[in-house]
Structure 1
Amino acid sequence: MVRTLLKEVKEYKFVSIITPLFMILEVLMEMLIPFLMASIIDDGVNAGNIQHIYKVGGIMIVAAVVGLFAGMAGGKFGAKASAGFAKNLREAMFNHIQTFSFSNIDKYSTAGLVTRLTTDVTNIQNAYQMVLRMFTRAPASLICAMIMAFRINARLSNIYLIAVLLLGTILVLIMSHVTRYFQQAFPKYDELNASVQENVSAVRVVKAYVREEQETNKFKKASENIYRIFVKAECNLVYNAPLMQLTVYSCILLISWIGAKMIVATTLTTGELMSLLAYCMNILMSLMMMSMVFVMVSMSTASIRRISEVLNETSDLKNPENPLLEVEDGSIEFSHVYFSYKKDSEEPVLKDINLKIRSGETIGIIGGTGSAKTSLVNLVSRLYDVTEGEILVGGHNVKDYDMEALRNQVSVVLQNNVLFSGSILDNLRWGDKEATEEECRNACVLACADEFIQRFPDGYQTHIEQGGSNVSGGQKQRLCIARALLKKPKILILDDSTSAVDTATDAKIRRAFREEIPDTTKLIIAQRISSVQDADRIIVMEEGKINGFGTHEELVANNEIYREVYESQTQGGGDFDEKAGE
């Protein structure tokens, strides 16, 4: 896992290497100062040698300045390395997510991916900075202080050694308990973010149904779950600081008591005792810093696992070695196609689908909710791969095409229409980034969107709010259709994309398609018979199978399901999910 993440250090390797070097230099200067201070006391103050005091004092000043410079440089480069590492991690995750197939995306919640890109990356950034600085500085300070202390007096230094071993054991025990709680905490962040995202995106529905109190309670529950886990973790960590303080002052008392006796016995000087006390503080402060690093690393362990999971996720869809880059025409053929969203599913979603569609045909697709209409059309642009069988587009298996080339020739207007913040033109140019304003207007005329755009004060420069919240459902659908048309595709798929449009406008759109893009194959999923009855042929779906395939007249005469729905809708309303007479 760690190796996967460290690949993203990239251009920040140099600053990641020199940061620990500066921290070690700072430690060396710090370790030198108590030693020099002992010399000033023993050989300068006690001996009355003012020249020695000046000389050693000057060296101390130089050591302090070098240590200050090293500490500042280490802080600066450490911040640059950790922030750059976090930037690369976010970019790597975001770019990798763009390669996911729909089946890969289905494994993660939107809130979970947002948490990984924000909270988890921030945890790793903080841990990385602490590892580069504190985790280098603390062990180096501990080792140097121990060496200097043993050099001065090995007998007294054994006190440090015992303290280090005792505290190290306690620290390991505390961290083993704390890590478990942190691993539980971050999935709870996903739940919290999901609650916020759902509430904000559906705020109009929340207010319309006066559900503010229920949503507030749901958020409160998610927040309290995180609170409880972190309280449990902190209840374990709370022992850390008191134990450290107890050990520090116990060491100081023991060294002072034993050291005083040794001074009286002339086996230790006053300066050496002061140095030992300084080194005592250095050793135990190093342990404190190491405990902080372990806490941060424990918190980030769960984040490392979650981010590695995303980075190591491989797309189910891959381009062939020598992909086809051109789609000859819009012909489509399904040959014994079976499809399941999960490989271990007992019941496939699509079962033995066989059909041939000629290039330029308009094909209506109709069926009840859950009959796998959307699943059928998603396979055409290879948003998913078939479980069995094959799909041919333009006479070639969809797996033989470069996926980008295939999808550029298959425009899909999905059920959930999405617009992005920006002008209407910005949104339309998702279909063709080089499209002129005139081309955008022509596409909007075909989609019957131009008529309402012209009524806006700013016309095609009208700003669209995030998610298209400032336009109606029907307007959003028509803009999405226009965006798809700008791709000039060989195959156009409308997945119930005129459900929010009145029947008159729906008829205009279908007539425009028939007259203006006759060579484009059009697949139209709909619930209204009126939306598909003038199609060249109509597919009737039922429970993942093709129940009927023919013209409107043929299906009315020969297909019981189609005839019942047609009669239901022409005799006073109803949709495909309502049986005639009910």
Structure 2
Amino acid sequence: MRLYLPRVRPLLVGVVAFQALQALFTLLLPRVTARIIDEGVVADDRDAIWRVGGLLLVVAFAQVVAMVIGIHFAARSSMGVGREIRRDLFHKVTGFSAQEVGRFGPPTLITRITNDVQQVQTAVQMAATMAVVAPLTFGFGTFMAVREDAALSLVLLVAVPIIVVIVGVMMSKAHPAFTAMQDRIDVVNTVLREQITGLRVVRAFVREPTEVRRFDDANQSLTSTALRAGRIMAILFPLVIVVQNGASVAVVWYGAIRIDAGESTLGSLVAFLGYIVLVLMSVLMAGFMFTMLPRAAVSGQRIMEALDAEPTVVAPASPRQDVPRTGRLELRDVTFGYPGAEEPVVKDVSFTVTPGQTTAIIGSTGSGKTTLLNLVPRLYDVTGGAVLVEGVDVRELALDDLWSRIGLVPQKPFLFSGSVADNLRYGKGDATEEEMWAALAVAQAAEFVSSMPGGLEAAITQGGTNVSGGQRQRLAIARALVRKPQIYLFDDSFSALDLATDARLRAALPAYTSGASFLVVAQRVSTIVDADQIVVLEGGEVVGLGTHDELVAGCPTYQEIVESQRSVQEAV
């Protein structure tokens, strides 16, 4: 976290200055009070009363002003640190490939950007507020106490080490509890996210009671861990207060003896009492600050894990320039395996996607179709071979340049909250209404969009939950079409469409996408029967490559797929 403190250095200078002034005025009060007691003020001497009272008020008011300004600077410093960490985390996470997102998990990444940053932010504010006052008050308070009465200062030699030991023991017990607490928050977020996302499935299978128990278990686990950490903190402060009050009693008792023996004065005793309270309060403030540190340290470690994670997909240092934009795509001996996996998902896959033609990928579940498609826009990077666009390895192209050439329709289409137009403009930010309606018409979505209140300005909820699965899929297709890229990637993008809509959409696509390369992953043979070439995958390897007729004649795997679908009247 020290990397972020220089960014708020001017504010921290203000914190130090005004917190130091606060400590100075705080330490002045006992001495002024002692002087008033020892010198005495005659009751009928109004000038002296006003003078002395005014002095006390000025010192107290200056202390309050310095405290308020110091806390203001501390708050701005902590908010600035929090803002910088959140910004860096956001940019880091959005730069992750699908592999890093899968490794951390979306719920824990959200927790790190929100709850963990808040813990660090709170600790920075507490540290900025107390890190100056506590040491100054302890140091100068001890000096003033010894100067006031060296004999009474022996009480500090006993009280301070006791408080330090108590704080140290409590912190050693609190750190594991706070570590477990952040993990439990991750679990709660994971369970809650799954239940909200899969609400329809939960209800369809009447699993509400099971999911309620699952959430209750996670919630109870978090509560128990938080209570355990809270009990440790609850014990800390009463113990410190007991030590502080015991020290005050010892000072009064021993000080009274010294006053009776003429070795001290009442003013010195009152001043010493003020100083010892300040000294022990400074230790208590430091203890309170240290109570925040274990949890903040855990949160800081989790934040740094995300910040230090190296993305597997990185932009080239010197990207290729002036690469033509015809849409030619080639996969050359492509191999990809997940880290730690025994076998690669796809192995030695080679084929070329020619501009103006449609290439389809088909195969059984788990054969690597979607993985292969995800290698083109570098959602993952190949572990062997190369993906080439215009004859150039995609790893040599600037990421923005690569993505600007591609129109992707993922297997699970996602719509953002906003309007229909907002979602279409994700494909092309300056798209006109004519362009959007043209894309909607090709995607067979114009009719239902025009019937929605507001048309293009009709509201879409997050994830597109206020439209059907087929409508969501057609809007995702329109979003890719409005971009008019050189390469279209459709990942089983017709699965939610009925056969009639599917046929109309496929009939309208060639005229709109002429000149572009078209790579489509499909489950239904009827969707790809007219493709210029079909790639058949089995176990991550190419077992067939050709047209529909060629594969029916010579590819056993493709023949099995056709026969299985013909049995349910889906094949052509």
Question: In 1, distance between residues paired with 2:17 and 2:208?
Answer: 55
- Alignment-derived partner of residue 247 in structure 2: 251
SS at match of 1:435: coil
Q: CA deviation at 1:387?
A: 0.7
Question: In 2, distance between residues paired with 1:401 and 1:522?
Answer: 20
Deviations 1:382-416 (A, max 9, x none): 22111111121111111111111111101111111
The counterpart of 2:473, out of the listed 477, 488, 499, is: 477
Amino acid at match of 2:412: N
Counterpart check, 1:445 vs 2:444: no
Q: CA deviation at 1:88?
A: 2.1
CA RMSD of superposed structures (Å): 1.8
Residues 319 and 403 in structure 1, CA contact (< 8 A), matched pair in contact too: yes
Question: In 1, distance between residues paired with 2:104 and 2:305?
Answer: 10
Instruction: Please give the residue correspondences for 1:250-329 in structure 2 after superposition, counting only pairs within 5 Å.
Output: 250-325=246-321, 326-329=323-326
Residues 336 and 344 in structure 2, CA contact (< 8 A), matched pair in contact too: yes
Instruction: Please give the residue correspondences for 1:20-35 in structure 2 after superposition, counting only pairs within 5 Å.
Output: 20-35=16-31
Amino acid at match of 2:2: R
Q: CA deviation at 1:114?
A: 1.2
Q: CA deviation at 1:428?
A: 0.3
SS at match of 2:11: helix
Question: In 2, distance between residues paired with 1:433 and 1:328?
Answer: 20
Q: CA deviation at 1:245?
A: 2.0
- Alignment-derived partner of residue 19 in structure 1: 15
Instruction: Please give the residue correspondences for 1:163-562 in structure 2 after superposition, counting only pairs within 5 Å.
Output: 163-325=159-321, 326-342=323-339, 344-562=340-558
The counterpart of 1:127, out of the listed 114, 117, 123, is: 123
- Alignment-derived partner of residue 159 in structure 1: 155
Residues 43 and 49 in structure 1, CA contact (< 8 A), matched pair in contact too: no
SS at match of 1:454: helix
Amino acid at match of 2:558: Y
Question: In 1, distance between residues paired with 2:353 and 2:295?
Answer: 56
Deviations 1:124-164 (A, max 9, x none): 11111000002322222222211110110111112113211
Question: In 2, distance between residues paired with 1:464 and 1:498?
Answer: 21
Question: In 1, distance between residues paired with 2:399 and 2:103?
Answer: 21
Q: How many residues align?
A: 570
SS at match of 1:547: strand
Question: What 5-or-longer segments of structure 2 have no aligned partner?
Answer: none
Greater alpha carbon shift after TM alignment, 78-87 vs 152-161: 78-87
Q: CA deviation at 1:570?
A: 1.9
Q: CA deviation at 1:573?
A: 4.3
- Alignment-derived partner of residue 580 in structure 1: none
SS at match of 1:381: coil
Amino acid at match of 2:453: P
Residues 40 and 53 in structure 1, CA contact (< 8 A), matched pair in contact too: no
Question: In 2, distance between residues paired with 1:378 and 1:528?
Answer: 20
The counterpart of 1:98, out of the listed 68, 86, 94, is: 94
SS at match of 2:341: coil
Question: In 1, distance between residues paired with 2:453 and 2:24?
Answer: 70
Counterpart check, 1:42 vs 2:76: no
- Alignment-derived partner of residue 578 in structure 1: none
Question: In 1, distance between residues paired with 2:13 and 2:143?
Answer: 25
Greater alpha carbon shift after TM alignment, 374-383 vs 27-36: 374-383
Question: In 2, distance between residues paired with 1:438 and 1:523?
Answer: 26
Greater alpha carbon shift after TM alignment, 236-245 vs 259-268: 236-245
Q: CA deviation at 1:327?
A: 4.3
Question: In 1, distance between residues paired with 2:256 and 2:197?
Answer: 71
Q: CA deviation at 1:328?
A: 2.9
Question: In 2, distance between residues paired with 1:376 and 1:386?
Answer: 9
Greater alpha carbon shift after TM alignment, 31-40 vs 515-524: 515-524
Q: CA deviation at 1:55?
A: 4.1
Amino acid at match of 2:531: A
Question: In 1, distance between residues paired with 2:93 and 2:153?
Answer: 55
- Alignment-derived partner of residue 579 in structure 1: none
SS at match of 2:331: strand
- Alignment-derived partner of residue 113 in structure 2: 117
Counterpart check, 1:3 vs 2:2: yes
Q: CA deviation at 1:359?
A: 2.0
Question: In 2, distance between residues paired with 1:350 and 1:442?
Answer: 37
Counterpart check, 1:107 vs 2:107: no
SS at match of 1:354: strand
Amino acid at match of 1:298: P
Q: CA deviation at 1:476?
A: 0.5
The counterpart of 2:60, out of the listed 42, 64, 72, is: 64
The counterpart of 1:568, out of the listed 557, 564, 568, is: 564
Question: In 1, distance between residues paired with 2:102 and 2:251?
Answer: 63
Residues 327 and 393 in structure 1, CA contact (< 8 A), matched pair in contact too: no
Amino acid at match of 1:532: I
- Check 1:99–1:327 CA distance in 2 against 1; reply closer, same or farther (3 A cut): farther
Counterpart check, 1:146 vs 2:135: no
Greater alpha carbon shift after TM alignment, 316-325 vs 550-559: 316-325
SS at match of 2:494: coil
Amino acid at match of 2:293: V
Question: In 2, distance between residues paired with 1:244 and 1:46?
Answer: 40
Question: In 1, distance between residues paired with 2:455 and 2:231?
Answer: 60
Question: In 1, distance between residues paired with 2:570 and 2:280?
Answer: 78
Question: In 2, distance between residues paired with 1:190 and 1:242?
Answer: 32
Name the TM-score, length of structure 1 as normaliser.
0.94
Deviations 1:45-93 (A, max 9, x none): 4999876655444332221121111011112222222122212221221
SS at match of 2:103: coil
Residues 327 and 406 in structure 1, CA contact (< 8 A), matched pair in contact too: no
Deviations 1:25-60 (A, max 9, x none): 111101101101100010134999876655444332
Question: In 1, distance between residues paired with 2:48 and 2:207?
Answer: 80
Question: In 2, distance between residues paired with 1:57 and 1:39?
Answer: 12
Question: What 5-or-longer segments of structure 1 have no aligned partner?
Answer: 576-582
Q: CA deviation at 1:517?
A: 1.5
